[in-house]
Amino acid sequence: MPANTRHAPAARDPARWQDGLRRVLLFAVLWWILAEGAVDSLAVGVPFVLLGAWLSLVLWGARSFSLRGLARFLPWFAYQSLAGATDVAMRAFRPAMPLHPGLVHCRLRLPTDGSRIALADVVSMLPGTLSADLDGEELVIHALDTRRDMQAMVTDLEPRIAALFGLDASFQEIPENAS
């Protein structure tokens, strides 16, 4: 095979290096937050940040991740967490507030397994909901109040998760009988 038709090794691929540097930056910020900015944690933090970035490249491969999508997602997530935590606290302090717990099946439109897993993880972090099962395009959510429209919550969350992964957010419509 002529030398000019060979593909560059992954180590020389500029896009892979950029992806790796983004991951190092992301893991470094996460470590800094978890370590509460303690400088003395750098001896442990730097190796773990590098190991985490390397493992994420090896296990997940080069996938797009959008810092702009993250910047848009974080305020939304903070607001949803606060609103949900307030709702759960109200239910705890007012025993008369009715609970209607149960499992709700929601149809997902996200195109990749990684984005679906991220969505399921985010749903579990929101108060009052817990991802119970993820099977292909279906997410089963345990909800404190099944009267809430879980499909609408998932449908609202999907474009936000898609933006995190740099995916096209123009999803196909969910069929009426899917929920």
HEC states along the chain? CCHHHCCCCHHHCHHHHHHHHHHHHHHHHHHHHHCCCCHHHHHHHHHHHHHHHHHHHHHHCCCCCCHHHHHHHHHHHHHHHHHHHHHHHHHHHCCCCCCECEEEEEECCCCCHHHHHHHHHHHHHCCCEEEEEEECCEEEEEECECCCCHHHHHHHHHHHHHHHCCCCCCCCCCCHHHC
**The pLDDT value given to residue 129:** 92
pLDDT tens digits for 132-152?
999 999 999 999 999 999 999
**The pLDDT value given to residue 63:** 60
Q: How confident is the model at residue 12 (pLDDT cuts 50, 70, 90)?
A: low
* % of the chain beyond a pLDDT of 70: 83
Per the structure block, which two tokens stand in for 23? 């991951």
The model's pTM is 0.64
**The pLDDT value given to residue 62:** 60
**The pLDDT value given to residue 114:** 83
Give the contacts of 26 (CB within 8 A, at least 6 positions apart): 53, 65
Among the ranges given (42-51, 60-69, 140-149), the one the predictor scored with the smallest mean pLDDT:
60-69
Domains of the chain: 3-60 (no CATH), 67-178 (3.30.70)
Q: How confident is the model at residue 91 (pLDDT cuts 50, 70, 90)?
A: confident
Q: How confident is the model at residue 8 (pLDDT cuts 50, 70, 90)?
A: very low
Higher pLDDT, 173 or 168: 168
